[in-house]
Amino acid sequence: MKICLVKQHTTYDLYTTTGPDLRTVVSSSNWRSGPVGLWEGFDCDFRIVWESQDRECQIGKSHWSQYVQGWKIWPEGSTAEAIGEVDWGLYDAVISIDVAVPTRIVRQYPRVMWCYYFIEAGPQGIDGEFRGSPYYGYNVFLNHRLCKRSVNAGAAEVVRIRDQKRCALDFPYYLQSSHSIQNLYPELAATPRQGLLFSHHSYSLLSDEEREALLPFGSILGGYRTIADIHKLEMTSRYFVTHPKCRAVAGTGVIEAISAGCLALAPRRLLWGFPELLSEDLQYDDFAGLIGVLELLERAPAKVEAERRKQAERVDMWCFRNPAASLEAVYKAFRESKCSAAAQRWAERKAYLRARISFTGFRAKNFIWRLCRRLHNRQESA
């Protein structure tokens, strides 16, 4: 499949240049390494387009703009393309970061399968604010979730795309194999691994006493400023660690760390959306528990390698092979579909109405539950 990954020039996340090679593209990212596996699994281009003022192209910014005020999102000298001047028909599928291409353009290319992520949707977004997706004339909503099964000819996603030209697909934002990051830095492949790299949200939580307690397990690696710095540290560290006091976030970067060859250690409760990537027998809930896990691993080098292989196998299957196969399966069904543009729009409107009714009921139930809980707590304390 020929695929295009596209973002608007004002979108805060991912890459800020389109070449000349994949390593340069990924190194230009403002924040995350993102779906690097698109280049590994498909014939993939990356394009940056100028921001569109169409309503649907402003929705993504409404989710995250308040958090990135003052960031240097668009480097000086960078270039973008006018949306209307791109021949989108060159591609079998276009994958948009937020909604980068407006509906008026999407409808001009009905033979292209249009897909999108919302950056801030996360793995639970499809059950909440993004319920009923895809919208805006797009065909596939990529929901950030681990893909534990690849869809086949009889799968609901395939049936839906054939009948309505619409479906949601389990498809991680970190679409990566266990070697995607390692493939970017072949010169570091033979570098001996040592030390611990703490996740971005964890590094500042380490106290002086904790740093001293970690000394027997190697240096605590730091000093990174760019995504390339992080990748190089991941390529040379033995462990990628999440501090037990870290707030729960979507993945804490463990997929990328595993792709770089680290053994990832984290409390499963903090891996919002991805706890099953890590084994239960390496769990810890406090710093003493982390020390206990490290002591166990240091006494059993064979277990380190066994766990690292287990994590790599899960990333390969759930974050690369299955989602890539699923995308190909729904594309095949999309090309075979007899669904008209009018029928697709009608199905989208019905899905939107059902989703709004369902989501309103969900929010009302949540409000009533919280109110009852507060009343109960007041009675208990009275």
**pLDDT confidence of residue 148:** 95
**pLDDT confidence of residue 54:** 98
d(CA 261, CA 244): 22
Q: Averaged in consecutive runs of 10 residues, what is the pLDDT profile of the chain (382 residues)?
A: 98 95 95 95 98 97 92 89 97 98 98 97 90 97 95 93 97 97 95 93 92 95 88 96 89 91 94 91 95 96 96 98 97 97 96 84 57 60 55
Give the count of beta carbons closer than 10 Å to the beta carbon of residue 139: 26
Strand, coil or helix: 257: helix
Give the count of beta carbons closer than 10 Å to the beta carbon of residue 197: 27
- Inter-CA distances, 283 with 241, 262, 288, Å: 12, 17, 11
Angle at 245 between CA 241 and CA 249, to 5 degrees: 70
Domains of the chain: 2-175+318-365 (no CATH), 180-313 (3.40.50.2000)
**pLDDT confidence of residue 222:** 82
Instruction: Find out whether 235 and 190 touch, Cβ atoms under 8 Å.
Output: no
Instruction: Find out whether 240 and 263 touch, Cβ atoms under 8 Å.
Output: yes
d(CA 303, CA 317): 21
Which two three-digit tokens encode residue 49? 């387009």
Element (H, E) at 8: strand 2-8
**pLDDT confidence of residue 17:** 95
